[in-house]
Amino acid sequence: MIPKDHPRYRSLMVRERLSQCAKEGIVALEGLAAHGRGEAFDYLLGERTTPSALQAARTAAALLLTADRAVISVNGNTAALATAEVGALARASGAAVEVNLFHRTEERIRRITALLEEHGVDVLTGTPERLIPLSHDRAWCLPEGIGSADVVLVPLEDGDRCAALRAMGKQVITIDLNPLSRTARTATLTIVDELTRALPNITAACSELDSGTAARLAGSLDNAYLLRAAIEEIQERLDHALD
């Protein structure tokens, strides 16, 4: 039992939730290490949504709202940590939800789909095809999902697949706490923020933006600026780290 007054209570509870989901086969063991990497960068960002991350979340809402077909790609960590938040964003944005895994097994797809459906999320079904230009299991996606989407929101994506989706001409929105990662630099738009903070910010912006503002925001997207701002936030904190 983690005491509620522990200074790291939230962080410890999240780790416990992920460990439990790993035991249940929802989260891959590799997903636990990936979460740790994110935690380190979140620590450096002050575990809060920075102004530039909020701006990125609003821009993400604009891309989703102005898309012809938007899809939210959900992996094990996302399902474990943000089931409700994914459902709320899908409803607010009109985006479809596809379960798509880096460490793909039919068993994990089934378990993650069940978890999302228990929380009232509509999940795309169909016959996956090898549509993404990558070797191995990472090539699979649904033709009626990511395969035909013009905008894909992929929280916690890997760099290779982000590049492959971009090469297919898709706009890729990612949520990645590491502003230096290949994913962060390859995506169309990177929200440098923690998943359960970023998703509700996108959802809120979906309700607020009128179509004119959405089109303007989508048109003025500058990912290099957003990444630089995130790095500057980290530098600012490091400057005062030992005060």
Question: Applying CB under 8 A, does 19 fall inside the site for a copy of itself?
Answer: yes
CB of 35 to a copy of itself, least distance (A): 5
Q: Is 185 annotated as a binding residue?
A: no
CB of 108 to a copy of itself, least distance (A): 15
Q: Is 216 annotated as a binding residue?
A: no
Cα–Cα distances in angstroms (integers) from residue 211 to residues 61, 185, 214, 222, in the given order: 11, 28, 5, 19
Q: Cβ(155)–Cβ(174) under 8 Å?
A: yes
Q: Which of 68, 226, 100, 93 is nearest to 164 (CA)?
A: 100
Alpha-carbon gap, residue 214 to 216, rounded angstroms = 5
Q: Is 160 annotated as a binding residue?
A: no
Alpha helices in 24-96 (DSSP H): 29-45, 51-65, 76-93
Question: Applying CB under 8 A, does 167 fall inside the site for a copy of itself?
Answer: no
Q: Is 5 annotated as a binding residue?
A: no
User: Which of 179, 197, 205, 209 is close enough to bind a copy of itself by CB under 8 A?
Assistant: 179
Alpha-carbon gap, residue 82 to 194, rounded angstroms = 11
Residues 213-232 that bind a copy of itself (CB under 8 A): 224, 227-228, 231
Q: Is 10 annotated as a binding residue?
A: no
| Percent composition of the chain: helix, strand, coil (DSSP 3-state, to 5) | 55, 10, 30
* Interaction site with a copy of itself (CB under 8 A): 15, 18-19, 22-23, 29-30, 32-41, 43-44, 178-180, 224, 227-228, 231, 234-235, 238-239, 241-242
Binding site listing for ATP: 15, 37, 176-178, 182-183
